[in-house]
């Protein structure tokens, strides 16, 4: 989230699209309804009428996987009707930047496409530079090469008729949403967007969000109270686990995982430290070396020295251009290339796409280590449906873990608030925390390497791993302080070991050690653990609660907040004054840097300090699948053509083409669009919630929601059992016949959509049904490899 949950109350129009906030973030909905009470309009765009729709001003049904078409139409509307916030667009976005004349877009493809590799060469996705290396601009926005004109041309194709025909949304509904939302382009209006897995679980997931980011920049909704783009993330500490980057491509604090070609620390830092020649761009990532070296110090401790490149060479390197995501991981496992898997608090046998493939892959493992508070389908895969234990070689460990209230530590919510939790009780039986498991397991591994040696043993032996208290248990505070960072030498009157109060003080010379730079400042220099703070003062009245817990970065509650003011630092909306420049300093939220506003040509800086150019990217060359989002059909959909171009599916997605990955696009065998989702009563794979009697009582078994029209066609009675099948598998569940799914008219014909929750698995409860992911496709987003769970094709038969 650029903003945070409470801030939703400050909005004038809330577009909920790609999210079912009332069901999956019920407490976010508290603040959405607070806004509604204050007069805000709440709009829900979703394939299905849900509990969210029930409380919104209105619901607009949309076919799964067509969000870019819908939003592209909105961009077209905003430009044609001049609804954009001109001052904001001029000053705070790259709308006026001139794009390279070689850049082009033809028939669904941007310039530089390599069809064989399914990737783009981005050499033409660049700006024209002046002699000083600063991007050329046309403030009039009239130059045909300027971003704004490119944008206008690109989305001119997204006419109401076209969008309606793709999305299945009526033109009246399209106009209603466009009009109402684009009204937030006024300086004193705030519009926000709440999305969740409904946007990310697509082959164009990242571009769904990008499209909205463009709209928010056009309307001047970024960086303001009640604005922003708000990912309502799905897990309690998914923000924290992402911040600490248990991810193949990133190291803690979103630092880049090195690749093979970056063979030295110097080359690595050179590549990832952005340069800007514009003196007004803060280009905050120029501090990248400080963050990275401080992290290396946290990894290898005293063994990381300037002489050995702080241990850079010990780090694993990915092959350039290769990906190692969960999809790739199971692909490799399926082909026998993985011997051992650690699965901590996760249940991929249910949650990974194409479960039949995933489950088959698990059988290829030599060993599997699971840590959980309950048994799950992954740990017990060896006696799953159709599996003969006598033929499964895998050695399985199921380690009993402590539940959250049985351990102390911090958790980061989606609004980046890092809140401290206390240990209320000891875990039952032999259970210990996942942290303790990791520490003791790593101790055992270190011991073996110390004794026996091995390849690159230095990396293991030099790992800084002194996080135990005298009793031998994990010392949470010690870890938290290491994450925050400390001095490694006596510097400027601070003794070695003193806590670093902010990442601004981190150094690239090895004098600081910091486990995760964005968390630097979670402790005060005086040792105060700011994550434990419980102050309730709210000086701005906007619900920022600056003294409640800690928010990264540096307790900033709304990021890019300097964009809430004009170039002189005066708030665009004086009624919701997030920040104001007094002439000497900023007052309000913690500003994005102390510099004066950009009207001060000498010392002033642009507001988007993390962007190299200092402004918001309407033209986004960082994306794998194009600097402007473009509508493509899902990998498996009801259409055999893309109504907008000759390019049916996202050209930059990776295609997995094993026998198990079959796709039947526009096939009569699987005529219905299916989507998957969760429900309030269960959580994710249900691996925690299915074991809980109170929750199971409310949602006891797997179901498929079917519209009344389709149910009539198929003669399916409410509450009866049906079989749902796709090209990849089939499963049996209860039919829930409902008016909440209505058929769409797509390209002139009727298309039915159905939906299933992904919360069930064969292990428990008995007869509760199995995973909806038995049906889903093995394919991911072009940028993130987030799997496509939201649009695929099925057939339904009564039993």
Stretch that binds another protein, among 73-81, 332-340, 577-585, 589-597 (CB under 8 A): 332-340
Q: Tell me whether residue 51 or residue 157 sits nearer to another protein (CB atom).
A: 51
Residue 203 CB, shortest distance to another protein, in Å, is: 14
Question: What is the rounded distance in angstroms from the CA atom of residue 350 to the CA atom of residue 443?
Answer: 31
Residue 327 CB, shortest distance to another protein, in Å, is: 8
At residue 698, φ and ψ (nearest 5 deg) are -85, -35
Structure tokens at 705: 């929601």
Options 372, 617, 647, 759; binder of another protein; rule CB under 8 A: 372
* DSSP, residue by residue, 737-788: EETT---EEETTEEE-EEEEES---SSSSTTS---GGGS--S-B-TTT--B-
Residue 212's H or E segment, with its range, is helix 205-218
Q: Tell me whether residue 79 or residue 711 sits nearer to another protein (CB atom).
A: 711
Window 500-539: contact mask with another protein (x via CB under 8 A): ---------------xx--x--------------x-x-x-
Residue 482 CB, shortest distance to another protein, in Å, is: 8
Binders of another protein among residues 282 to 301 (CB under 8 A) are 298-299
Residue 209 CB, shortest distance to another protein, in Å, is: 14
C-beta of residue 597 within 8 angstroms of C-beta of residue 565: yes
Options 379, 578, 673, 782; binder of another protein; rule CB under 8 A: 379
Q: Tell me whether residue 69 or residue 702 sits nearer to another protein (CB atom).
A: 702
Question: What is the rounded distance in angstroms from the CA atom of residue 88 to the CA atom of residue 108?
Answer: 30
Options 396, 491, 714, 751; binder of another protein; rule CB under 8 A: 396
Cis check: omega of the bond before 765, within 30 degrees of 0 = yes
Residue 795 pairs in a beta bridge with: 725
Question: What is the rounded distance in angstroms from the CA atom of residue 496 to the CA atom of residue 505?
Answer: 14
Number of residues this chain uses to bind another protein (CB under 8 A): 202
Question: What is the rounded distance in angstroms from the CA atom of residue 134 to the CA atom of residue 76?
Answer: 29
Question: What is the rounded distance in angstroms from the CA atom of residue 145 to the CA atom of residue 130?
Answer: 15
Q: Tell me whether residue 472 or residue 594 sits nearer to another protein (CB atom).
A: 472
Binders of another protein among residues 575 to 604 (CB under 8 A) are none
C-beta of residue 237 within 8 angstroms of C-beta of residue 684: no
Binders of another protein among residues 112 to 151 (CB under 8 A) are none
Q: Tell me whether residue 148 or residue 517 sits nearer to another protein (CB atom).
A: 517
Q: Is 735 in the site for another protein (CB under 8 A)?
A: yes
Question: Strand locations in 277-378, DSSP E?
Answer: 340-344, 367-372
Question: What is the rounded distance in angstroms from the CA atom of residue 191 to the CA atom of residue 224?
Answer: 9
Structure tokens at 247: 């991810």
Stretch that binds another protein, among 265-273, 392-400, 488-496, 498-506 (CB under 8 A): 392-400
Q: Is 302 in the site for another protein (CB under 8 A)?
A: no
Q: Tell me whether residue 120 or residue 467 sits nearer to another protein (CB atom).
A: 467
Q: Tell me whether residue 643 or residue 700 sits nearer to another protein (CB atom).
A: 700
Contacts of residue 173, defined as CB under 8 A and 6 or more positions apart, other chains included, come to 60
Q: Tell me whether residue 53 or residue 512 sits nearer to another protein (CB atom).
A: 53
Window 258-287: contact mask with another protein (x via CB under 8 A): --xx-x------------------------
Options 140, 142, 456, 797; binder of another protein; rule CB under 8 A: 456
Residue 641 CB, shortest distance to another protein, in Å, is: 30
Options 11, 203, 352, 355; binder of another protein; rule CB under 8 A: 352
Q: Are strands 41-45 and 58-60 parallel, antiparallel or unpaired?
A: parallel
Q: Tell me whether residue 480 or residue 648 sits nearer to another protein (CB atom).
A: 480
Question: What is the rounded distance in angstroms from the CA atom of residue 385 to the CA atom of residue 760?
Answer: 14
Burial string for 299-318 (b: 16+ CB within 10 Å, else e) reads bbbebbeeebbbbbebbeeb
Options 254, 272, 285, 342; binder of another protein; rule CB under 8 A: 342
Residue 241 CB, shortest distance to another protein, in Å, is: 4
Stretch that binds another protein, among 463-471, 486-494, 564-572, 612-620 (CB under 8 A): 463-471
Q: Tell me whether residue 49 or residue 744 sits nearer to another protein (CB atom).
A: 49
C-beta of residue 504 within 8 angstroms of C-beta of residue 512: no
| Residue recorded with tokens 């980057």 | 245
Cis check: omega of the bond before 553, within 30 degrees of 0 = yes
C-beta of residue 484 within 8 angstroms of C-beta of residue 501: no
Q: Tell me whether residue 242 or residue 502 sits nearer to another protein (CB atom).
A: 242
Options 180, 363, 509, 701; binder of another protein; rule CB under 8 A: 701
Options 212, 282, 463, 746; binder of another protein; rule CB under 8 A: 463
Question: What is the rounded distance in angstroms from the CA atom of residue 490 to the CA atom of residue 718?
Answer: 72
Options 99, 209, 224, 329; binder of another protein; rule CB under 8 A: 329
Residue 49 CB, shortest distance to another protein, in Å, is: 7
Pick the closest to residue 272 from 437, 581, 466, 508 (CA basis).
508
Residue 48 CB, shortest distance to another protein, in Å, is: 11
Q: Tell me whether residue 217 or residue 519 sits nearer to another protein (CB atom).
A: 519
Structure tokens at 230: 């708000």
Question: What is the rounded distance in angstroms from the CA atom of residue 457 to the CA atom of residue 466?
Answer: 18
Pick the closest to residue 752 from 719, 788, 704 (CA basis).
704
CA distances from 148 to 103, 136, 161, 769 (A): 14, 13, 23, 51
Options 17, 45, 315, 648; binder of another protein; rule CB under 8 A: 315
CA distances from 186 to 76, 85, 598, 607, 612 (A): 17, 6, 21, 19, 27
Options 307, 693, 715, 748; binder of another protein; rule CB under 8 A: 693
Question: What is the rounded distance in angstroms from the CA atom of residue 632 to the CA atom of residue 641?
Answer: 10
C-beta of residue 670 within 8 angstroms of C-beta of residue 751: no
Residue 13 pairs in a beta bridge with: 41, 191
Residue 706's H or E segment, with its range, is strand 703-707
Binders of another protein among residues 167 to 186 (CB under 8 A) are none
Question: What is the rounded distance in angstroms from the CA atom of residue 248 to the CA atom of residue 169?
Answer: 38
Stretch that binds another protein, among 92-100, 440-448, 558-566, 662-670 (CB under 8 A): 440-448
Residue 381 CB, shortest distance to another protein, in Å, is: 10
Binders of another protein among residues 6 to 35 (CB under 8 A) are 6, 22-30, 33
Binders of another protein among residues 397 to 436 (CB under 8 A) are 397-401, 403-415, 417-419, 421-435
Q: Are strands 486-487 and 792-798 parallel, antiparallel or unpaired?
A: unpaired
Window 195-234: contact mask with another protein (x via CB under 8 A): -------------------------------------xxx
Options 133, 321, 389, 541; binder of another protein; rule CB under 8 A: 389
Binders of another protein among residues 740 to 799 (CB under 8 A) are 740, 764-765, 780, 784-787, 789
Options 286, 356, 394, 660; binder of another protein; rule CB under 8 A: 394
Q: Is 386 in the site for another protein (CB under 8 A)?
A: no
């Amino acid at each position: 989230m650029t903003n945070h949950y409470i801030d939703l109350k400050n909005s004038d129009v809330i577009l909920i699209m790609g999210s079912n906030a009332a069901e999956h973030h019920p407490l976010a909905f508290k603040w959405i309804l607070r806004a509604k009470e204050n007069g805000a309009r709440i709009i829900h765009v979703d394939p299905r009428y849900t509990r969210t729709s029930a409380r919104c001003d209105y619901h607009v049904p949309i076919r799964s996987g067509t969000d870019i078409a819908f939003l592209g139409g909105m961009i077209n509307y905003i430009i044609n009707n001049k609804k954009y916030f001109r001052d904001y667009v001029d000053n705070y976005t790259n709308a006026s930047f001139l794009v390279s004349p070689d850049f082009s877009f033809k028939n669904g493809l941007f310039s530089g496409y390599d069809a064989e590799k399914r990737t783009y060469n981005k050499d033409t996705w660049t700006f024209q530079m002046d002699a000083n290396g600063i991007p050329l601009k046309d403030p009039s926005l009239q130059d045909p090469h300027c971003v704004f004109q490119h944008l206008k041309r690109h989305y001119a194709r997204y006419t109401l008729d076209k969008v309606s025909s793709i999305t299945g949304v009526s033109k009246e509904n399209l106009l209603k949403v466009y009009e109402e939302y684009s009204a937030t382009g006024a300086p004193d209006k705030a519009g926000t967007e709440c999305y969740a897995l409904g946007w990310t679980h697509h082959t164009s997931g990242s571009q769904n969000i990008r499209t909205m980011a463009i709209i928010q920049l056009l309307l001047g909704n970024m960086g303001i109270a009640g604005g922003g783009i708000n990912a309502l993330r799905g897990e309690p500490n998914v923000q924290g686990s992402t911040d600490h980057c248990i991810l193949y491509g990133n190291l803690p604090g979103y630092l880049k995982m090195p690749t093979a070609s970056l063979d030295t620390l110097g080359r690595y830092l050179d590549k990832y430290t952005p340069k800007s020649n514009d003196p007004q761009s803060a280009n905050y990532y120029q501090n990248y070396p400080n963050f990275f070296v401080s992290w290396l110090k946290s990894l290898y401790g005293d063994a990381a020295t300037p002489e050995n490149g702080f241990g850079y060479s010990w780090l694993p390197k990915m092959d350039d251009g290769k990906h190692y995501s969960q999809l790739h991981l199971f692909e490799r496992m399926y082909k026998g290339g993985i011997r051992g898997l650690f699965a901590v608090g996760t249940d991929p046998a249910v949650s990974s796409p194409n479960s039949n493939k995933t489950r088959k892959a698990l059988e290829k493992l030599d060993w599997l280590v699971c840590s959980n508070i309950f048994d799950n389908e992954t740990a017990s895969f060896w006696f799953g449906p159709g599996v003969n234990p006598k033929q499964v070689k895998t050695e399985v460990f199921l380690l009993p873990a402590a539940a959250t209230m049985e351990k102390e530590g911090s958790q980061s919510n989606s609004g980046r608030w890092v809140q401290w939790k206390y240990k209320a009780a000891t875990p039952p039986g032999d259970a210990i925390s996942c942290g303790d498991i990791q520490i003791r397991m790593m101790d055992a591994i270190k011991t073996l390497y110390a004794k026996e040696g091995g390849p690159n043993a230095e990396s293991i032996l030099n790992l800084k791993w002194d996080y135990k208290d005298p009793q031998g248990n994990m010392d949470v505070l010690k870890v938290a302080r290491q994450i925050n960072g400390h001095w490694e030498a006596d510097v400027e009157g601070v003794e070695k070991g003193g806590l670093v109060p902010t990442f601004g003080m981190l150094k690239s010379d090895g004098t600081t050690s910091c486990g995760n730079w964005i968390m630097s400042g979670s402790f005060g220099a005086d040792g105060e653990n700011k994550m434990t703070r419980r102050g309730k003062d709210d000086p701005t009245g906007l619900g920022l609660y600056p003294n409640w817990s800690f928010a990264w970065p540096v307790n900033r509650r709304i990021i890019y907040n300097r964009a809430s003011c004009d170039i002189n630092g005066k708030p665009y909306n004086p009624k919701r004054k997030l920040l104001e420049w007094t002439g000497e300093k900023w007052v309000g939220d913690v500003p994005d840097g102390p510099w004066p506003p950009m009207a001060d040509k000498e010392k002033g800086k642009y507001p988007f300090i993390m962007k190299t150019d200092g402004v918001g990217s309407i033209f986004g060359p960082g994306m794998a699948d194009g600097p402007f989002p473009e509508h493509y059909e899902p990998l498996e959909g009801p259409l055999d053509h893309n109504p907008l171009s000759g390019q049916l599916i996202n050209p930059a997605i990776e295609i997995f083409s094993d026998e198990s990955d079959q796709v039947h696009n526009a096939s009569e065998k699987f005529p219905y669009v299916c989507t998957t989702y969760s429900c309030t009563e269960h959580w994710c794979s249900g691996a925690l919630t299915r074991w809980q009697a109170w929750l199971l009582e409310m949602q006891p078994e797997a179901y498929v929601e079917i519209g009344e029209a389709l149910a009539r066609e198929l003669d399916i009675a409410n509450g009866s059992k049906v079989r749902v099948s796709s090209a990849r598998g089939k499963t049996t569940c209860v039919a829930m016949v409902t008016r909440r799914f209505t058929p769409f008219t797509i390209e002139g014909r009727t298309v039915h959509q159905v939906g299933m929750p992904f919360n069930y698995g064969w292990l428990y409860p008995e007869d509760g049904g199995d995973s909806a992911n038995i049906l889903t496709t093995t394919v991911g987003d072009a940028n993130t490899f987030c799997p496509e769970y939201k649009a695929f094709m099925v057939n339904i038969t009564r039993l």
